[in-house]
Structure 1
Amino acid sequence: MSTAKPKFQLRRTLGGISTPLAGLLLIMLTPLVAQGATYTVNNNGDSATASCPSNCTLRAAIRAANGNAGKDTITLPNGGATPFTVNLTRAGTDNTAERGDLDITDDLDIIGLQEGGRNIINAGGISDRVFHILGSASVTMQNVSIRNGAVTNAPGAGIYVSNSATLELTNAEVRGNTVTFDPNDTSVNFTQVQVSGGGIHVDQQAEAIIGTSDIVQNSAPGNGGISNAGRTEIRQSLIDGNTASAPGGNSTVRFSNGGGIGNLGGYLAMGSSTVSNNRSNNQGGGIYIINQGLNLGLVTITNSAITGNEALFNGAGIANFGPATLNNSVVANNLIDVDVNNNGGNGAGIYNHAANANLDVVNSTVSGNSGAYSGGGIFNSHDMTLHNTTVYDNRAQPCASGCLSTNSQIGGNQLTLFRTSASNAPNLILTNSIIVDGANSNPNEPACAGSTNYEVFIQSIGNSMSSDASCNLNVSGGDLVNVTTPDLDPDLTTSTDVNGTAVDHTGVHALLAASPARDAGNTDACPLVDQRFMLRDLNCDIGAYEYGATQQQANIYVDLKASINDSPDPAPPNVTEEPLTYVVTITNQYVDITAENVTVVVNLPASYQFSRVTMASTGSPPSCDEPTVQNVLTCTISNLPGLGRAEFFISGIPTQEGTITASVNVSSQSQPDAFSQNNRDSEDTVIDPEAADVTNFNGGTGGSGGGSLQPIALLLLLAGIALLRGRGRSA
């Protein structure tokens, strides 16, 4: 009789007690669930001691809800033609909601009942933020407009989601909130986080879900609309007209990143959303992505538009310094706005830079971006892949004199590769992609450019197309070079509605009938759908658009991405106190469909002595079997929501010197995967007896890498390492 293999799952047990008795004891010992109350606001004043329900202000209702165990509900009334508006007037500072901002310390739903609109909560009279969510409170807000919060040298003027709290916004607006920076306050040790998030700031252990909401016209020294250091999902939302601008000149300009969104090492997933008309006085006019300490973060952007944003320096659309993916999206018409001192930047569309910068672009369009000295469309100095991507009609204008750096003199309308040092070279992998000048490109500049010998860092897998020979494409590998008549529609077009729903709104350059890109792609490497989620032909086209495609497939396919990273690397062999840990991250990169019956297979090195699996505290936890004799670990995830992720840590001891390789593969047993090329990843680790005690995750050397190390998960990881060390000492 066979014995089922054990599952690595966390379970609470009562040892030595029979199951029925244990169940009875659990029932007896379990506290009664507190019943939440409902508070109906009927007074738009700001009294903290008003009586609910007879004379109930929002502040009084929140204070009552904070003191009542259980999840409470607060409703705001319908004001008819004039929205019911709460004006906060009780200035001061505390964490009890008596004065200043509205502090929420217990689970709460706030629901606006304004017909056809949103109730307004205006903090213009208190010189403080609007909401502060503390502790582990779980808060939802619906149909509300959060306005005119103001803080100095503190994060989150509209909403501050702190500690391990969670926030969910539905049909909400966060408008006109402001974080300011006082450099004369010597009592504060300033970091980027402390002056971030004009609209919303999410702390490292906190979470936010922003759905069908508008984050507009907020400002901060850094990350004007949203700053995320924890876990944030943005769905069907608008991030528009936000500003990142720190006063004080060069001494504080380092804060002025992320006009629309700043991801500060957190997990950020955005789908079916628009980031537009935001401005940064430094980098990342639309989106700024950077790592913070041990937290490597992970950013996924799907079916979204990053358009019309501005920056003074690098990455008017996106400035990326960490692992990220861009799928079925457009980065268009972003502008680097050269200042009066002729200080300009690079990568008007996308700036991918620094040691952990790792950007995968699939089924996307980079178009009409301008103002860059180098890399009108894309500036890359680290790892980037372009897969069925269209880079078209961008413009660069190199700096002629008084340049801040040599990279400002390189040029390159569509794409620039820059080597930052002898040991740090860029890497660009091209598959089925278009890199072509258009009518608005600089006629004096090539499509591609770079620092000395940049061409050797371009790896064409084949079946790409360029307007000249500067992109180092491989004609013998099916590449098309010197295509001066690409026959692309010069206007960005969107797909027509499908059954009344606009599935794609991002904009793509359609192929015209005579385009040489038609049927010229490598079908084996093509995603099954194009940027519009239209089903591709058997003979697929080059670029993000499939000519003649009419069948919409947005809600049929999933897009699962696997990544694996190691720590430490190099690692010592046979040292129990210093285990080698792999972090495995699985992401469902599409927005609207849940991946079901997901299987994750991890091939561990033969010389790796497996110890344990630790699940991350957030996301969708998998269940793992015991590794086989071949050291194959299989894990299952029953369902992984759109834009969701699963993460777990594998700890063990390497036993032999040399370089070892671990790999991961993911698949759904129920649904086809639209882009199977990202289902696998691998990680090489050097095993060296002289390895130092390193506890930081690097960006990964194999595949795409870039797993996110969230703070709570990091604590679990360190706890596991400590346990292994303890075992080693007691042995």
Structure 2
Amino acid sequence: SDLTGADLSGAHLTYADVAGADLRSADLTGADLTGATGVPATDQATTFATTTCPNGTAASPSCEEWAQTLTVTNGEDVRDDDPGDGVCQDVGGGPGDCSLRAAIDEANASSTTDTITVDATVGTVTLARAGVDNTNADGDLDVTDELTIEGNGATVAQTVGDRVLHLHAATVLRDLTVTGGAVSGDGGGVFVAAPATLDRLTITGNEAVNGGGLRVGATGDLTLRNSTIADNTADAGSGLAASGAVAVVSSTVSGNTASTSNGGAIRTNTGALVSLLFATVADNTGGNLRAPVAAVTVGGSIIADPATDGNCV
């Protein structure tokens, strides 16, 4: 039968044999195809998944995985009890107990670009799990799958001698304060190893050998907007050290201290390209910029008042 253009809304086709029927353009809204012959079982479903499919299993033709929105409800430093089940729940916690680390565990286990929202009542997230890894188990927070974090003004404070955040995958961070990071390597506050946008962040009180506040690796591509990098320390690039592409837009880099004249504010390494657009770079110790002239583009910005040693461009 040729049903082209037919309105079968509400039709009950249970057990109907539609093999060979031309259903192109047919409106089957509400039609019950359960048990219909000639129709693959996966096409008979009239209810579709709205989260992971089902919790903990991979997406299949009969069930689609959707992006998650996870809400952080406490400032603890606890892992997720079952990463990949589509539910953020702290180990040992009850329903609704969701730490930032647990939410990142859950997002890392997803194949979609998820969103984590820190509830406005949380205030401060205190990182206290000692250890060094790139799996988000301990130490810093490791983002390994595409993710957006909406901080709602929260502070993420490291207390156990590691950086605060390590971005291995494309990430957007908004409305966060990052503080307390301390490493004997690169990136005390945030290490950027993938495309990242940081908007309305305050990165302060962090320390490292290279990149006290921020370190952008060779695979990183950072856009920093409406943000402040202040009062960080390092041997070089106290505010920001870059080997990748960086755009600093409508942001301030100030009060950072380098132990040598290696860029109290910004230090570039081979391969880095830094753009300063409507930015303020001022009052940094150890020079404001340490970079080849060709590596830096400046537009509508203020570079002034280095506390010592001048602008090393």
TM-score (norm 2): 0.73
The residue that corresponds to 1:294 in the other structure is: none
Greater than 3 Å deviation, 4+ residue runs: 31-34
Match of 2:136 among 92, 97, 103: 97
Which stretches in structure 2 are left out of the alignment for 5+ residues? 1-59, 82-87, 90-94
Q: Distance in 1 between matches of 2:113 and 2:135?
A: 17
Contact 2:67 2:113 in 1 (8 A): yes
The residue that corresponds to 2:300 in the other structure is: 303
1:609-650 CA-partner distances (Å, limit 9, x unpaired): xxxxxxxxxxxxxxxxxxxxxxxxxxxxxxxxxxxxxxxxxx
The residue that corresponds to 2:160 in the other structure is: 126
Code of the aligned partner of 1:298: A
Q: Distance in 1 between matches of 2:241 and 2:66?
A: 34
Match of 1:35 among 66, 72, 77: 66
SS in 2 for 1:215: strand
SS in 1 for 2:291: strand
Q: Distance in 2 between matches of 1:151 and 1:34?
A: 37
Q: Map of 1:432-451 to 2, 5 A cutoff?
A: none
Code of the aligned partner of 2:178: I
Q: Distance in 1 between matches of 2:216 and 2:201?
A: 17
Q: Distance in 1 between matches of 2:196 and 2:291?
A: 21
Q: Map of 1:414-429 to 2, 5 A cutoff?
A: none
Q: Map of 1:73-112 to 2, 5 A cutoff?
A: 73-79=115-121, 84-112=123-151
1:579-614 CA-partner distances (Å, limit 9, x unpaired): xxxxxxxxxxxxxxxxxxxxxxxxxxxxxxxxxxxx
Contact 2:174 2:199 in 1 (8 A): yes
Q: Distance in 1 between matches of 2:123 and 2:203?
A: 16
Q: Distance in 2 between matches of 1:167 and 1:145?
A: 16
> Cα 1:67–1:276, aligned 2, differ >3 Å: closer, same or farther?
same
Q: Deviation of residue 70 (structure 1)?
A: 1.0
Q: Deviation of residue 34 (structure 1)?
A: 5.2
Code of the aligned partner of 2:202: E
Q: Distance in 2 between matches of 1:175 and 1:64?
A: 28
Code of the aligned partner of 1:308: D
The residue that corresponds to 1:139 in the other structure is: 171
Q: Deviation of residue 63 (structure 1)?
A: 0.9
- Structure having the higher helix fraction is 1
User: Could you say what the CA RMSD is over the residues aligned between the two structures, in angstroms?
Assistant: 1.8
Q: Deviation of residue 199 (structure 1)?
A: 0.4
Q: Deviation of residue 299 (structure 1)?
A: 1.4
Which stretches in structure 1 are left out of the alignment for 5+ residues? 1-30, 180-194, 246-252, 292-296, 321-731
Contact 1:66 1:106 in 2 (8 A): yes
SS in 2 for 1:65: helix
Q: Distance in 2 between matches of 1:90 and 1:290?
A: 39
The residue that corresponds to 2:280 in the other structure is: 274
Q: Distance in 2 between matches of 1:100 and 1:286?
A: 30
Q: Distance in 2 between matches of 1:173 and 1:224?
A: 14
Q: Map of 1:683-702 to 2, 5 A cutoff?
A: none
Q: Deviation of residue 310 (structure 1)?
A: 2.2
Q: Map of 1:164-563 to 2, 5 A cutoff?
A: 165-179=194-208, 195-245=209-259, 253=260, 256-265=261-270, 266-280=272-286, 285-290=287-292, 298-312=295-309, 316=310, 318-320=311-313
Q: Distance in 2 between matches of 1:45 and 1:139?
A: 22
Q: Distance in 1 between matches of 2:80 and 2:297?
A: 45
Contact 1:264 1:290 in 2 (8 A): no
Q: Deviation of residue 49 (structure 1)?
A: 3.2
How many residues are aligned here?
240
Q: Distance in 2 between matches of 1:224 and 1:74?
A: 29
Q: Distance in 1 between matches of 2:211 and 2:241?
A: 5
The residue that corresponds to 1:67 in the other structure is: 109
| Residue 157 (structure 1) aligned with residue 191 (structure 2) | no
Q: Distance in 1 between matches of 2:301 and 2:269?
A: 20
1:546-582 CA-partner distances (Å, limit 9, x unpaired): xxxxxxxxxxxxxxxxxxxxxxxxxxxxxxxxxxxxx
Q: Distance in 2 between matches of 1:302 and 1:34?
A: 43
Q: Distance in 2 between matches of 1:143 and 1:201?
A: 19
SS in 2 for 1:151: coil
TM-score (norm 1): 0.32
Contact 2:72 2:117 in 1 (8 A): yes
Code of the aligned partner of 2:240: I
1:265-310 CA-partner distances (Å, limit 9, x unpaired): 3111111010111011xxxx1111049xxxxx63101111112212
Code of the aligned partner of 2:288: G
SS in 1 for 2:312: strand
Q: Deviation of residue 205 (structure 1)?
A: 2.2
SS in 2 for 1:59: helix
